[in-house]
């Protein structure tokens, strides 16, 4: 399925490939991991969202190729948010290469992110090739609601990052917007396009949401304790940049040595190693791992109850396991 997803993505991005805007098109193909340094071997991301969408669609018994325009839309939205995130977070690298704004400058990169969002909206409307217009409108509405949640999550992130603190309750609200919303939309739209009943669509949505939360918590753990070589970004970065990840939020709630050292934002980069050790003493690693495991277990339990069919069903189970065990 991955080559088919990649093909659909290229087809959608090609809308911008005209003579007068060639460098614009190249900005997008660079970010997507198709061109630039290391060319076709550049890592373009894991394509988890489109994969989830087509797998769910197939596992409820539909022709998965018809879900490709929606799958592409999900991945394009994810990438639009990455391009803007890197600017907002002042992150210089993405997938082991210079982030788009570092390469093209901030103004052009904002615009390229906007274009990825437009392409996503056009992709989802392309569902009209295969589906009744009512289904297209429903799929688009689910997608746009996820996008609104995405901007809300991003607001909470940026807003609380300025203040330098976040409660656990606010943390879950933030990642529900930033990560879980789009995965929930992926599974819900997959089920919708597969012709599932409204109840099953909703159940698939809940599965995607739990998986999204598990995925983000795992990401938070890797952002502090992952290996730089595998994740493509410096592990110090998350602590240095003051990212409000689950281990940090937990450490702050303990109001101990970690919380005191964290307070001075200007010294976080220099103290990244020490901050990590203090988090370990606070058992923040265990806390986050426990949450990641529980969330994954809940997601898997929900998936089992849904009895996804055939190879695609087995692949969905496999994907859940991989997401928790991954090291990058």
Residues that bind its own copies (CB under 8 A): 15-16, 18, 20-21, 23-24, 84, 87-89, 106-108, 110-115, 117-119, 121-122, 125, 128, 132-134, 136-137, 140-141, 144-145, 147-148, 150-152, 154-156, 158-159, 170, 173
Nearer to its own copies, 92 or 321 (CB): 92
Dihedral, 236, 237, 241, 245 alpha carbons, nearest 10: -80
- What's the CA gap between 122 and 120, in Å, rounded? 5
Q: How many residues does the chain have?
A: 328
Task: Provide CB contacts within 8 A for 46, sequence distance 6+.
Answer: none
Nearer to its own copies, 21 or 197 (CB): 21
Burial 75-86 (b: 16+ CB within 10 A, else e): bbbbbbbbbbbb
Shortest distance (Å) from residue 240 CB to its own copies? 17
Nearer to its own copies, 16 or 54 (CB): 16
Shortest distance (Å) from residue 327 CB to its own copies? 30
Helix (H, G, I), strand (E, B) or coil at 93: strand
Shortest distance (Å) from residue 137 CB to its own copies? 5
Q: CB–CB of 50/5 below 8 Å? A: yes
- What's the CA gap between 192 and 229, in Å, rounded? 39
Token output for 301: 């339990």
Shortest distance (Å) from residue 165 CB to its own copies? 15
Nearer to its own copies, 30 or 117 (CB): 117
Nearer to its own copies, 161 or 328 (CB): 161
Shortest distance (Å) from residue 86 CB to its own copies? 11
- What's the CA gap between 311 and 317, in Å, rounded? 10
């Amino acid at each position: 399925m991955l080559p088919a997803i990649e093909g659909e993505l290229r087809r959608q991005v090609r809308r911008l490939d005209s003579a007068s805007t060639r460098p614009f098109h190249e900005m997008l193909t660079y970010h997507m991991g198709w061109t630039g340094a290391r060319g076709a071997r550049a890592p373009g991301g894991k394509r988890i969202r489109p994969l989830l969408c087509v797998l769910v669609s197939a596992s409820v018994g539909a022709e998965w190729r018809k879900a490709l325009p929606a799958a592409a839309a999900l991945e394009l939205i994810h990438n639009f948010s990455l391009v803007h995130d890197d600017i907002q977070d002042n992150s210089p690298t993405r997938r082991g290469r210079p982030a788009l704004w570092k390469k093209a400058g901030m103004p052009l990169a904002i615009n390229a992110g906007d274009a990825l969002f437009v392409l996503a909206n056009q992709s989802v409307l392309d569902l009209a090739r295969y589906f009744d217009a009512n289904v297209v409108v429903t799929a688009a509405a689910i997608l746009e609601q996820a996008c609104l949640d995405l901007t809300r999550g991003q607001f909470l992130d940026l807003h609380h990052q300025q203040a330098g603190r976040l409660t656990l309750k606010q943390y879950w609200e933030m990642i529900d917007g930033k990560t879980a919303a789009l995965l929930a939309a992926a599974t819900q739209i997959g089920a919708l396009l597969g012709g599932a009943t409204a109840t099953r669509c909703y159940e698939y949505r809940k599965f995607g949401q739990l998986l999204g939360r598990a995925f983000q918590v795992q990401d938070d753990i890797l952002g502090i304790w992952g290996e730089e070589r595998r994740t493509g970004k410096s592990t110090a970065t998350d602590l240095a940049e003051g990212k409000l990840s689950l281990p940090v939020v937990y450490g702050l709630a303990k109001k101990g040595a970690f919380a005191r050292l964290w307070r001075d934002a200007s010294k976080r980069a220099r103290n990244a190693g020490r901050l990590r050790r203090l988090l370990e003493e606070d058992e923040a690693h265990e806390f986050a791992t426990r949450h990641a495991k529980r969330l994954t277990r809940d997601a898997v339990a929900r998936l089992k109850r849904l009895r996804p069919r055939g190879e695609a069903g087995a692949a969905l189970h496999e994907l859940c396991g991989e997401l928790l065990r991954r090291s990058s």
